[in-house]
Amino acid sequence: MSKGQDGAGLHPDTLALHAAFRKDASTNALAVPIYQTTSYQFDDTAHAASLFGLEKSGNIYTRITNPTTSVLEERITALEGGVGAVALSSGQAASAFSLQNLARSGDNVVSSTDLYGGTWNLFANGMKDLGIEVRFVDPISPENFRTASDSRTRAYYGETLANPKLRPFPIRDVSRIGDELGIPLIMDNTAAPLLCRPFDLGAHIIVYSLTKYIGGHGTSIGGMLVDSGRFDWSKQGGRFPTLNEPDANYHGTIFSEAVRELGPIAYILRARVVLLRDFGSALSPFNSFLFLQGLETLPLRMNRICANAQVIAEFLREHPKVSRVVYPGLETGKAREQALSVLSGGFGGLIGFELTGGIDAGRCFIDALKLVCHVANIGDSKTLAIHPASTTQSQLSPAARLSSGVSDGYVRLSVGIEHVDDILADIGQALSACGG
Ligand code: PLP
Same domain, 67 and 163: yes
CA nearest neighbour of 329 among 319, 318, 344, 320: 344
pLDDT of 327 over the 70 cut: yes
Answer yes or no: is the C-beta of 189 below 6 A from any ligand 1 atom. Answer: no
Same domain, 148 and 279: yes
Answer yes or no: is the C-beta of 223 below 6 A from any ligand 1 atom. Answer: yes
Range name among 36-45, 47-56, 273-282 with the lowest pLDDT average: 47-56
Same domain, 259 and 336: no
**What's the pLDDT band for 52 if we cut at 50, 70, 90?**
confident
- Does residue 7 lie within any of the structural domains? no
Name beta bridge partners: 400: none
Compute the average pLDDT of residues 154-160. 98
Answer yes or no: is the C-beta of 188 below 6 A from any ligand 1 atom. Answer: yes
Answer yes or no: is the C-beta of 159 below 6 A from any ligand 1 atom. Answer: yes
pLDDT of 400 over the 90 cut: no
Same domain, 325 and 252: no
Same domain, 189 and 207: yes
- Domain C-terminal end among 238, 262, 293: 293
User: In the chain, pLDDT over 70 holds for what percent of residues?
Assistant: 98
Going from the C-alpha of 116 to that of each of 28, 163, 256, 356, the distances in angstroms are 42, 6, 32, 25
Name beta bridge partners: 185: 156
- Does residue 1 lie within any of the structural domains? no
- What's the 121 CA to ligand 1 centre distance in angstroms? 12
pLDDT of 410 over the 70 cut: yes
Compute the average pLDDT of residues 258-262. 90
Per the structure, how many domains does the chain have?
2
Same domain, 327 and 240: no
- Does residue 4 lie within any of the structural domains? no
Q: Report the nearest atom of ligand 1 relative to the CA of 162.
A: 3
- Does residue 2 lie within any of the structural domains? no
Summarised one tens digit per residue, pLDDT across range 6-24 is 446 899 999 999 999 999 9
| DSSP label of 248 | G
- What's the 50 CA to ligand 1 centre distance in angstroms? 37
- Domain C-terminal end among 239, 271, 293: 293
Answer yes or no: is the C-beta of 209 below 6 A from any ligand 1 atom. Answer: yes
User: Is residue 307 within 8 Å of 346, Cβ to Cβ?
Assistant: yes
- Does residue 3 lie within any of the structural domains? no
- What's the 7 CA to ligand 1 centre distance in angstroms? 27
Answer yes or no: is the C-beta of 119 below 6 A from any ligand 1 atom. Answer: yes
- Does residue 323 lie within any of the structural domains? yes
Compute the average pLDDT of residues 142-153. 98
Task: Give the global pTM.
Answer: 0.96
Same domain, 272 and 414: no
- What's the 47 CA to ligand 1 centre distance in angstroms? 39
Domain that holds residue 394: 299-432
Q: Report the nearest atom of ligand 1 relative to the CA of 115.
A: 3
Compute the average pLDDT of residues 219-235. 97
Burial class from Cβ neighbours inside 10 Å (0-12, 13-18, 19+) for residue 393 reads: buried
Same domain, 130 and 259: yes
Answer yes or no: is the C-beta of 310 below 6 A from any ligand 1 atom. Answer: no
Same domain, 149 and 287: yes
pLDDT of residue 9: 86
CA nearest neighbour of 135 among 160, 154, 162: 154
Instruction: Give the C-alpha separation, 126 to 133, whole Å.
Output: 10
Please report, for the domain that includes residue 52, its CATH number.
Answer: 3.40.640.10
- What's the 39 CA to ligand 1 centre distance in angstroms? 29
pLDDT of 417 over the 50 cut: yes
Summarised one tens digit per residue, pLDDT across range 342-389 is 999 999 999 999 999 998 999 999 999 999 999 999 999 999 999 988
Compute the average pLDDT of residues 124-137. 97
Beta strands in 312-434 (DSSP E): 322-326, 350-355, 373-374, 384-386, 410-414
Name beta bridge partners: 253: 247
- Domain C-terminal end among 293, 324, 344: 293
- What's the 406 CA to ligand 1 centre distance in angstroms? 18
Nearest CA, atom 4, ligand 1: 116
Cα Rg of the chain (Å, integer): 22
Answer yes or no: is the C-beta of 211 below 6 A from any ligand 1 atom. Answer: yes
Please report, for the domain that includes residue 381, its CATH number.
Answer: 3.90.1150.10
Same domain, 391 and 255: no
Summarised one tens digit per residue, pLDDT across range 67-100 is 999 999 999 999 999 999 999 999 999 999 999 9
Answer yes or no: is the C-beta of 190 below 6 A from any ligand 1 atom. Answer: yes
Q: Report the nearest atom of ligand 1 relative to the CA of 222.
A: 15
Same domain, 274 and 321: no
Same domain, 335 and 352: yes
- What's the 414 CA to ligand 1 centre distance in angstroms? 14
Answer yes or no: is the C-beta of 100 below 6 A from any ligand 1 atom. Answer: no
Summarised one tens digit per residue, pLDDT across range 197-207 is 999 999 999 99
Pairing between β-strand 153-159 and β-strand 108-112 as defined by DSSP bridges = parallel
Q: What is the residue-averaged pLDDT of the chain?
A: 95
H or E element in which residue 153 lies: strand 153-159
Answer yes or no: is the C-beta of 101 below 6 A from any ligand 1 atom. Answer: no
- Does residue 44 lie within any of the structural domains? yes
Q: How many CB atoms lie within 10 A of CB 133?
A: 18
SS3 253: strand
